[in-house]
Structure 1
């Protein structure tokens, strides 16, 4: 379902036919808003409505493996690695002839936004990143154990390393993803209709393959797409981000639990602000759309 004045469009961009929602004036400043796992474009419905009312052109794409986005070739690896997500975003900007935009996202979408901000800063007006502020993976270091509390919260990632996890995601994807929503956002009172609207995006024929590859590649368990080796080498250097940035952490996020110490800050060299927002879980834009939209305006205006 498309709400309000949003329009579902498709465009060929890189390896994909990207399905995206667009709202707002065609000549307005551009915000590209990027969802994570296991969510979809509707996480940004209220954000896009608020921003478009202020004159922004909002582009909200379904990521690879979600919704009506499709691979153009059956030969393309169904990769969910970070380089693929960043490359997809840059290709979409090129296909839409968007020279510069504010990039806003969380989870997988935040990773794509951070990658483009780090490697192609001339294309980015500003960045809004939620949950994990600096969201570029250190794959080389990912084999080292972390604190037990974090290991416990990453259970789903290790589950996806097993064939049992593949079967679980394939056969019980709605039950599993709704369970994750409740775990990660314990104070968000979403209703069944809200979940069902998003769950339609998980019927994509490549959803399982892309998700499984994502959670295996980030630990070095499987190889990535050979076409993306060069880009992964750049990301392995953990490049700095120089664009104006606001990092938003949900105070009730039960997977990316915020700490008082801002461990992301050293990775940013430009104007930077971080806020921990009480009462918000992992799905930040859908739970606190006003805060997210205001952050987009903030980094886009250079304040």
Structure 2
């Protein structure tokens, strides 16, 4: 895979690319706290099937950088979606198969809902991944609230300092908790850990987990997107939605079916946790191929 970069919107986005230059575009986006290594095994499988696979580092990760020191280091969902759209525009990609989970899945879902003309098909970890911020103050069941400890931790200045002090230790703790059956080891974590050394990582992460609960304002540049997301728009595109049955932070999203009004397939990866593509690369690649086939049917 080749590492490249392109100016896109407010960022210089770094990304990995593999597959034929004239292949069908496929953009796969990672989550928190992960990076493009999530797709290290999936991408070659898709390239062999003719895909031009693009793996962007999200804002605040790896070599991706803000172009201006004055741009707010927002981690809100609308900013992630705007970055993905800007990347497509910068690369001259009119339509693509999109896939992702966690933060990357959120960006992919938003594009699929608001800019469906730019998306061929969607693969989404944890199904309808668009935050309902106006309802973020509604309590969940206690066992679900307990899994959100890190979010509440980041709401405090103590959590902010903790992330500044040892971002790698926090990331590794979350990897273990969210994927209890994934024996990833030092070498696998070590390939992703440098991505968290990005100078904007802490501020982007803290803003993300505070904004989704309405605790801090968003970047005004994305207010028009956030306004549309309040309505929780449906996704009408061909979609494969996936959960892991051992996900330590997500209780399952089979109930999201009503949010999808187009061809839809819900799957559960056995013994998989939160980092679905890296834990089950072959199954994830097949989901991408199946989603594309749904769009071609």
Both structures adopt the same fold (TM-score exceeding 0.5):
yes
The corresponding residue for 2:268 is 276
Counterpart CA distance in 2 for 1:263 and 1:226 is: 32
Q: Does 1:301 align with 2:296?
A: no
> Counterparts of 1:107-146 in structure 2 under 5 Å?
107-130=102-125, 132-146=126-140
Q: Does 1:235 align with 2:229?
A: yes
Q: Does 1:61 align with 2:53?
A: no
Counterpart CA distance in 2 for 1:21 and 1:277 is: 26
Equivalent residue of 1:126, what SS?
strand
> Counterparts of 1:1-303 in structure 2 under 5 Å?
6-130=1-125, 132-258=126-252, 262-302=254-294, 303=297
Counterpart CA distance in 1 for 2:191 and 2:268 is: 28
Counterpart CA distance in 1 for 2:153 and 2:98 is: 31
Quote the offset at 1:257 in angstroms.
Answer: 2.0
Quote the offset at 1:301 in angstroms.
Answer: 2.0
The corresponding residue for 1:3 is none
Equivalent residue of 1:160, what SS?
helix
Counterpart CA distance in 1 for 2:290 and 2:92 is: 23
Counterpart CA distance in 2 for 1:190 and 1:253 is: 15
Counterpart CA distance in 1 for 2:269 and 2:55 is: 23
Q: C-alpha deviations, 1:102-150, integer Å up to 9, x for none?
A: 10000000000000000010111100001x2000100000011111111
Quote the offset at 1:276 in angstroms.
Answer: 1.2
Alpha-carbon RMSD: 0.8
Structure 1 gap ranges (5+): 1-5
Count of paired positions: 295
Q: TM-score, structure 2 length as denominator? A: 0.98
Counterpart CA distance in 2 for 1:117 and 1:226 is: 22
Quote the offset at 1:88 in angstroms.
Answer: 0.4
Equivalent residue of 2:255, what SS?
coil
Equivalent residue of 1:80, what SS?
coil
Counterpart CA distance in 2 for 1:168 and 1:210 is: 15
Task: Determine which structure has the larger helix proportion and give its number.
Answer: 2
Q: Which runs of 4+ in 1 moved over 3 A?
A: none
